[in-house]
Structure 1
Amino acid sequence: MNGAAPAVRWRPLAALGAAVVLAHLALLRAVPPAPDGRAPPALRQFITRSIEIKPAAPAPAPPAAPPAARPAPRPPRSSVSDANTPQVQVQRSFSAIDSIASEVPPPAAEAVAAAPVPPAAPPVDAARTTAFSIPGSVRLGYSVNGESRKQSYNVRSELLWLQDGSSYDARLEVSAFLMGSRTQSSAGRITAEGLAPTRFGDKQRSEQAAHFERDKGKVVFSANTPDAPLLAGAQDRLSVFLQLGAMIAGDPARYPAGTALSMQTVGAREADVWLFTVEGEEPLSLPAGTMPALKLVRSPRREFDQKVELWLAPSLGYLPVRLKLTQSNGDFADQQLRSVEKP
Structure 2
Amino acid sequence: MPARSAIQRWLLLTAAVVLAHLALMGLVSDTLTPLDQAARAENTFVTRTVTESIPLQPMAPTPVQASKSKPQAKARVAPAPPPPPVSSESVISDTSNTELTPPEALAPAPQVAAAEPEPPASAPESMPQPDTAPPSAAKPLQFNPERLSGSKRLTYTLMTSKFPFSLNAELLWRNLGDHYSARLRYSAFGRSRMQTSQGQITSTGLAPDRFADKYRSELATHFNRTQGTISFSANTPEAPLLAGAQDRLSVLVQLGALVASDPAHFEPGTTLSLQTAGPRNAMVWLFTVMPTEALELPGGSLQTVKLERQPREPYEQKIEVWLAPQLDYLPARIRVTDANGESADQQWRSTELATEAD
TM-score (structure 1 length as normaliser)? 0.69
Where does residue 344 of structure 2 map in the other structure? 333
Where does residue 299 of structure 1 map in the other structure? 310
2:268 to 257, 267, 289: 257
Q: In 1, are the aligned partners of 2:193 and 2:215 still within 8 Å (CA)? A: yes
Deviations 1:187-231 (A, max 9, x none): 000000000000000000000001000010001111111010000
Inter-CA distance 294–167: structure 2 relative to 1 (3 Å threshold): same
Where does residue 161 of structure 1 map in the other structure? 173
Normalized per residue, the structure richer in helix is 2
Q: C-alpha distance in 2, partners of 1:120/1:281?
A: 28
Where does residue 78 of structure 2 map in the other structure? none
Inter-CA distance 322–175: structure 2 relative to 1 (3 Å threshold): same
Q: In 2, are the aligned partners of 1:113 and 1:303 still within 8 Å (CA)? A: no
2:27 to 77, 96, 111: 96
**Structure 2: which 5+ runs fail to align?**
1-7, 46-87, 100-139
Task: Return the offset for 1:153.
Answer: 3.9
Task: Return the offset for 1:109.
Answer: 10
Task: Return the offset for 1:257.
Answer: 0.3
Task: Return the offset for 1:329.
Answer: 1.7
Q: C-alpha distance in 1, partners of 2:274/2:42?
A: 23
Task: Return the offset for 1:330.
Answer: 1.7
Q: C-alpha distance in 2, partners of 1:307/1:112?
A: 18
Q: C-alpha distance in 1, partners of 2:180/2:321?
A: 21
Q: C-alpha distance in 1, partners of 2:42/2:201?
A: 38
Task: Return the offset for 1:119.
Answer: 11
Inter-CA distance 174–306: structure 2 relative to 1 (3 Å threshold): same
Task: Return the offset for 1:176.
Answer: 1.5
Q: C-alpha distance in 2, partners of 1:320/1:111?
A: 25
Q: C-alpha distance in 1, partners of 2:310/2:196?
A: 24
Q: C-alpha distance in 1, partners of 2:247/2:98?
A: 13
1:144 to 154, 158, 171: 158
- 1:240 equivalent to 2:245? Answer no
Aligned amino acid, residue 206 of structure 1: S
Task: Return the offset for 1:122.
Answer: 3.7
Q: C-alpha distance in 2, partners of 1:111/1:311?
A: 25
Q: C-alpha distance in 1, partners of 2:89/2:271?
A: 8
From the CA coordinates, give the structure whose radius of gyration is larger: 1
Query: For the aligned residues, what is the CA RMSD?
Result: 3.0
Where does residue 229 of structure 1 map in the other structure? 240
Q: C-alpha distance in 1, partners of 2:238/2:44?
A: 22
Inter-CA distance 108–139: structure 2 relative to 1 (3 Å threshold): closer
Aligned amino acid, residue 279 of structure 1: M
For the residue of structure 2 that corresponds to 1:285, the secondary structure is strand
Q: In 2, are the aligned partners of 1:93 and 1:154 still within 8 Å (CA)? A: no
2:98 to 126, 149, 152: 126
Deviations 1:94-117 (A, max 9, x none): 333333232134389989998xxx
Q: In 1, are the aligned partners of 2:210 and 2:223 still within 8 Å (CA)? A: yes
Q: C-alpha distance in 1, partners of 2:293/2:200?
A: 32
**Structure 1: which 5+ runs fail to align?**
1-77
Deviations 1:45-77 (A, max 9, x none): xxxxxxxxxxxxxxxxxxxxxxxxxxxxxxxxx
Deviations 1:275-318 (A, max 9, x none): 00000211000000011101110000011111100000012211
Q: In 1, are the aligned partners of 2:17 and 2:189 still within 8 Å (CA)? A: no
Task: Return the offset for 1:81.
Answer: 12
Inter-CA distance 112–341: structure 2 relative to 1 (3 Å threshold): closer
Q: In 1, are the aligned partners of 2:39 and 2:281 still within 8 Å (CA)? A: no
Count of aligned pairs between the two proteins: 261
Inter-CA distance 171–120: structure 2 relative to 1 (3 Å threshold): farther
TM-score (structure 2 length as normaliser)? 0.67
1:268 to 275, 279, 282: 279
Where does residue 190 of structure 1 map in the other structure? 201
Aligned amino acid, residue 17 of structure 2: Q
Q: C-alpha distance in 2, partners of 1:86/1:234?
A: 40
Where does residue 71 of structure 2 map in the other structure? none
1:289 to 286, 297, 300: 300
Where does residue 20 of structure 1 map in the other structure? none
Q: C-alpha distance in 2, partners of 1:231/1:108?
A: 18
Deviations 1:156-210 (A, max 9, x none): 11000001210000000011214x1111010000000000000000000000001
Where does residue 107 of structure 2 map in the other structure? none
Where does residue 38 of structure 1 map in the other structure? none
Where does residue 119 of structure 2 map in the other structure? none
Q: C-alpha distance in 1, partners of 2:194/2:336?
A: 16
